[in-house]
C-alpha cells in the first residue's frame, strides 16, 4: 500500500483517486450507515470538500482503499468554517452545540473528517496499515503548515486505536449518539507528530468499514 496527499489544486496529479474516495465515502456513510447527507448514485460530497480541504488517501494496486479529509481550524468557505466549529455555532443538524468546550480558530490546530477504509481490505493487519498511512499523510500535511494538533469526531474506541497506532489521542468532549446510525461519537485530539512506526503495536480491531471522526458528524446536514 502507498499513500498520496493533495489538495484541490493537485487533483490532476492523481487520476481518478479523488472521485474514488468520494465513491468509497458514499458506499459507507450513505449505503451502509444510511446517513442523510449530500450524494448522488455514485459519490458523497459536502460543503467541506472545498478549496480549503486537504486529502490523505491510501492506494492498493492502484485503487483507493482508504482516506481522510482535513483542514485548518482557520478555514472558511462561504458561510461554513470547519465541522466542529459549525456544530458549536448551531449550523449543523444532529451534532450538539456543546460537542466541544471551545471551537479553536488557529493554524496550530487542524480538523480531520470523513475517514473511511474499504471492505476490500480483509485482514486486521491490512486495515491497521491503511489507517496508519492515512493518519501519517494528514500529519505530514498539517505539520508542513505549522500545525501541532489534530482534532476529530470519532467513535470512542478510536482513542485506543489511535494510541496503539502510535498517535496518543485524548478525549476532549462528551459523547453523543448519532441519529442516523445510532452510534456514539466523541471529539478527540492528538498531537501532530510523526509516530514511531517501529514501536507502534498492532491496533485494536477496526470495524469492516471504519470512519474516524470521521468524520463523523461531519456528515451532518447543514441548517444553512
Q: Would you say residue 224 lies in a domain?
A: no
Give CA 191 to chain center in angstroms.
Answer: 15
pLDDT tens by residue, 123-135? 999 999 999 999 9
Q: Which three cell numbers stand for residue 76?
A: 472558511
Q: Which three cell numbers stand for residue 101?
A: 468546550
pTM: 0.87
Q: Which three cell numbers stand for residue 175?
A: 459523547
Q: Would you say residue 111 lies in a domain?
A: yes
The domain spanning residue 109 has which CATH number? 3.40.630.30
Show the domain range for 153.
Answer: 2-219
Total number of domains constituting the chain: 1
Q: Would you say residue 125 lies in a domain?
A: yes
- Among 25, 32, 37, 10, smallest CA distance to 137 is for 10
Region 113-119: mean pLDDT is: 95
Question: Kind of pairing, strands 109-117 and 149-154?
Answer: parallel
Q: Would you say residue 191 lies in a domain?
A: yes
- Among 72, 65, 64, 54, smallest CA distance to 6 is for 54
pLDDT tens by residue, 131-160? 999 999 999 999 999 999 999 999 999 999
Residue 9, classed as helix, strand or coil, is helix
Can you give the pLDDT at residue 217?
32
Q: Would you say residue 198 lies in a domain?
A: yes
Amino acid at each position: 500500500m502507498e499513500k498520496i496527499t493533495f489538495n484541490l489544486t493537485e487533483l490532476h496529479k492523481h487520476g481518478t483517486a479523488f472521485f474514488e474516495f468520494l465513491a468509497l465515502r458514499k458506499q459507507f456513510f450513505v449505503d451502509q450507515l444510511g446517513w442523510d447527507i449530500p450524494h448522488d448514485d455514485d459519490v458523497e460530497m459536502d460543503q467541506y470538500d472545498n478549496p480549503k480541504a486537504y486529502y490523505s488517501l491510501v492506494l492498493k494496486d492502484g485503487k483507493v482503499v482508504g482516506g481522510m479529509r482535513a483542514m485548518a481550524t482557520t478555514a472558511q468557505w462561504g458561510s461554513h468554517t470547519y465541522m466542529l466549529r459549525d456544530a458549536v455555532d448551531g449550523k449543523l443538524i444532529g451534532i450538539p452545540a456543546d460537542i466541544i468546550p471551545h471551537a479553536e480558530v488557529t493554524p496550530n490546530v487542524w480538523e480531520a473528517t470523513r475517514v473511511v477504509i474499504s471492505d476490500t481490505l480483509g485482514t486486521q493487519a491490512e486495515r491497521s496499515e491503511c489507517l496508519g498511512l492515512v493518519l501519517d499523510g494528514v500529519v505530514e500535511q498539517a505539520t508542513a503548515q505549522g500545525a501541532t494538533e489534530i482534532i476529530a469526531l470519532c467513535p470512542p474506541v478510536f482513542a485506543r486505536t489511535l494510541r496503539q497506532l502510535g498517535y496518543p489521542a485524548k478525549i476532549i468532549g462528551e459523547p453523543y449518539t448519532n441519529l442516523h446510525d445510532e452510534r456514539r461519537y466523541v471529539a478527540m485530539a492528538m498531537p501532530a507528530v510523526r509516530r514511531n512506526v517501529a514501536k507502534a503495536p498492532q491496533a485494536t480491531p477496526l470495524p469492516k468499514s471504519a470512519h474516524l471522526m470521521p468524520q463523523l458528524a461531519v456528515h451532518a446536514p447543514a441548517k444553512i
